[in-house]
Amino acid sequence: MTVHGILVDIPTADGTADAYLTHPDDDRPHPGVLLYQDGFGVRPHLKAMADRIAEAGYTVLVPNVYYRSGRVPLIELPELIDVDQCDEIFATIGPLLVAATVPDVVLRDAEAYLAWFADSPLVTDGPIGVTGYCLGAYLSLRTAIGHPDRVAAAACFHGGRLVSDRPDSPHLEAGRITAELYFGHADQDPSMTSEQIAELDEALTAAGVRFRSEVYEGATHGFTQADTSRYDAVGDARHWTALLDLLKRALPA
């Protein structure tokens, strides 16, 4: 299926978020999918991932969640990001990442993205799907919690700190979720330990949430990102199968 990608601006309560939009090139509305970036931000690789989802029959929006600090590209990234050799990059994006995870900020921005979907002639009426990576996994879960009436499915891949000892930890609000969830955890990820995964699973089960939680053996944090040194082709292929299966169940294209 041929897809068409453009840049769009999304009005928010705090300004204007630039975003990448891609959809089947057939002049018809399709179910919406919100794709949340990882820590490195919106870049060609993430746009290619969005295009792949669009090819399956969806209208996909990839917002720049760092928009308060500027439009994409905020920082210059190498063609292949060596995660173990990019201290300068982390020094720049670290504060942006922290600011982007404040629960009230996530909620306000999600409201703006969902409003855009509701108003777009490219999107069918009804709930949407959400997927996210690293930072985006946290945002995906937060969006499902904050907008249970608008999110039918949410996927979270190599997410970090989905469980913490903070009073606003996402797992404590599992009872608000109505979406079907999927989690693809990396088994070599210190930001989401086996103990945290178990605690998240217990909270979701107790809340009656429909979910599937899988640990990808041999995978490290960031295993889906082909433009980084953490990429794992086997784990990435498995992630695509899980994500598209979830979307097909919850939001038939």
Active-site residue (options: 134, 156, 158, 171): 134
Domain ranges, ordered by start, for the chain: 3-250
Residue 171 among the catalytic residues: no
What pLDDT was estimated at residue 120?
A: 98
Active-site residue (options: 156, 221, 236, 239): 221
pTM over 0.75: yes
Phi, psi for residue 197 in degrees, rounded to 5: -60, -45
User: Any idea which fold 3-250 has?
Assistant: Rossmann fold (3.40.50)
Q: Work out the mean pLDDT of the chain and round it to a whole number.
A: 97
Strands, E assignment, the chain: 3-12, 15-24, 32-36, 59-63, 128-133, 151-157, 180-188, 211-220
Residue 134 among the catalytic residues: yes
The model's pLDDT over 3-30, given as tens digits with 9 standing for 90+, comes to 999 999 999 999 999 999 999 999 899 9
Find where tokens 């944090």 sit.
221
The model's pLDDT over 71-107, given as tens digits with 9 standing for 90+, comes to 999 999 999 999 999 899 999 999 999 999 999 999 9
What pLDDT was estimated at residue 1?
A: 87
- The answer on pLDDT for 253 being more than 90 is no
User: What are the strands of the beta sheet with 32-36, ordered from one edge?
Assistant: 3-12, 15-24, 59-63, 32-36, 128-133, 151-157, 180-188, 211-220
Residue 189 among the catalytic residues: yes
Angle between helix axes 44-55 and 233-250 (nearest 10 degrees) is 40
Strand 180-188 to strand 151-157: parallel, antiparallel, or no bridges (unpaired)?
parallel
Nearest to 50 by CA among 28, 65, 34, 27: 34
In one letter, which amino acid is 21? L
Contacts 24+ apart (CB under 8 A), 87-90: 89/40
Query: Given CA atoms 150, 152, 130, 100 in this order, what sign does their dihedral have?
Result: positive
- The answer on pLDDT for 196 being more than 90 is yes
Active-site residue (options: 109, 189, 232, 236): 189
